[in-house]
Amino acid sequence: MTADAHSRVHTLLATPPPAGRWTIRALATAIGISRASVHRVLKAGKFALVDASDRSTTTRASRAQHGTSSGSVLN
């Protein structure tokens, strides 16, 4: 996974999603990389794609799983 792919995923996540939220498939299609590559980028950055209603639960689970005090959760 290249630094360019990381940059493109994170830049795209900062833009409004096309259909209410970003999905792995939508990110992969928009960037032109595989879904597996998108997963690797998100995992390396400790990001998770979640629905807004699940945000607090997912943040706690993500923090516990990764052993961090603050997690990044994106819609």
- Hey, which CATH number is domain 3-74, 1.10.20, 1.10.10, 2.60.40, 3.90.550? 1.10.10
Where is pLDDT greater, at 30 or 63? 30
Where is pLDDT greater, at 43 or 66? 43
Q: For 21-58, what is each residue's pLDDT tens digit? A: 899 999 999 999 999 999 999 888 877 776 655 545 44
**For position 1, what pLDDT does the model report?**
62
Sequence spans of domains, the chain: 3-74
User: What is the rounded CA–CA span in Å between residue 31 and residue 9?
Assistant: 7
Q: Are 30 and 1 in contact (CB under 8 A)?
A: no
Q: Are 61 and 36 in contact (CB under 8 A)?
A: no
Judge whether residue 20 has pLDDT over 50.
Answer: yes
Furthest-apart CA atoms within the chain: distance in Å: 33
Q: Which residues of 46-60 are buried (b: 16+ CB within 10 A; e: fewer)?
A: ebbbbeeeeeeebbe
